[in-house]
Structure 1
Amino acid sequence: MAQTAQAVEFRSAARHGVPLYQQPQAQAAKAFVLSRGTPVEVLTEQGEWLRVRDSAGSLAWARKGDLAATRTVQVLRLSAVHLKPDSAASVVFRADKGLLLNLLDNTRTGWLRVKHQGGQEGFIRIEEVWGI
């Protein structure tokens, strides 16, 4: 029996204070609130609602309009961002756990090209972040 692979889809909170709900309805209890740029994995779609998972594994519902296609990644632990996709390359900056970085490119070599909100760009190992 053949199985088809499904692409993992991520989106980011479009603004600060995006509410996530326990059920796919505005009257449902709020599960938690996202800061602008926080990535979530999209699991399923139901009308104008998306079932999502955050980096901690928590499940909730979000309105489609509250999530943007802009891609960010969330740093999992203190990590170095390098000038080149090479661990021997000079370090551009260190990224603290929880820091959100704009995803510029997935090199498909285990490195991601990212940009800090301050404008610094560099490469980080894919296993150092969540949201890809």
Structure 2
Amino acid sequence: MTISRFIASAVLLLASASLHAFEFKTVGANAVILYDAPSTKGGRLFVAPRGMPVQVVLSYGEWVKVRDASGDMAWTEARSLSAKRNVVVRSASARVRATADEHAPVVMTADKGVLFELVDPQPGPWIRVRHRDGIIGYVRPADIWGV
């Protein structure tokens, strides 16, 4: 293969990879064990609590390799994940606003690690979320992880 064909192939591969959106899921109703390999015989890394958002990186049969908010990667069974979307606060204190406006009243301030349900998954300058207490509002994408 010539160098120019190799470079062209690499560019096409990278371009097609960038077209795919990230796939996020949520740990289902029960906490799950995350493994270092796609098997229950693999080493147990940690337990992911119910509701934790994860990014699906790779699927392998009935297993998926996932990334958490801290960037750690592990394997879990695909059936243990839910299509429901949650996000987690990654900033020290995220302001949840009544409307999608920087000057809107703050309805809640959330500490790092607080989970929200994703109400509207459309990307934009604001993300609509719901807290488990029923509070609905808008946060900046930079303050959360999982979108």
Identify whether the pair has TM-score above 0.5, normalized to the shorter chain. yes
Q: Which of the numbers 124, 128, 140 marks the counterpart of 1:113?
A: 128
**Is 1:99–2:99 an aligned residue pair?**
no
Counterpart CA distance in 1 for 2:107 and 2:131 is 10
Q: Which residue number corresponds to residue 122 of structure 1?
A: 137
Aligned to 1:50: 64
Q: Match of 1:69?
A: 83
Instruction: Compute the RMSD of aligned alpha carbons.
Output: 1.1
Structure with greater strand share of residues: 1
Structure 2, unaligned stretches of length 5 or more?
1-7
Q: Are 2:17 and 1:12 aligned?
A: no
> Identity rate of aligned residues, in percent?
37
Can you list the C-alpha shifts for 1:31-71, whole angstroms capped at 9, x where unaligned?
11111111111001000000111011111001001110000
SS for the counterpart of 1:108 is coil
Distance 2:58 2:122 in 1: 27
Closer/same/farther in 2, CA of residues 32 and 94 from structure 1, 3 Å limit: same
Q: Is the helix fraction higher in 1 or 2?
A: 2
Question: Structure 1 regions of 5+ residues with no counterpart?
Answer: none
Cα 1:54/1:108, change in 2 over 3 Å: closer
Structure 1 residue ranges, 4+ long, deviating more than 4 angstroms after superposition:
none
Count of equivalent residues: 132
- Opposite residue 105 of structure 2, the aligned amino acid is S
Cα distance in 2 between the residues matched to 1:14 and 1:7: 22
Shift, 1:107, TM fit? 4.7
Whole-Å Cα distance in 2 between the matches of residues 115 and 69 of structure 1?
16
Post-superposition Cα deviations, 1:71-124, rounded to whole Å, max 9, x if no partner, equal 000001211000000110000111110000000014533110000000010000
Which range moved further: 117-126 or 28-37?
28-37
Partner of 2:146: 131
2:3 maps to none
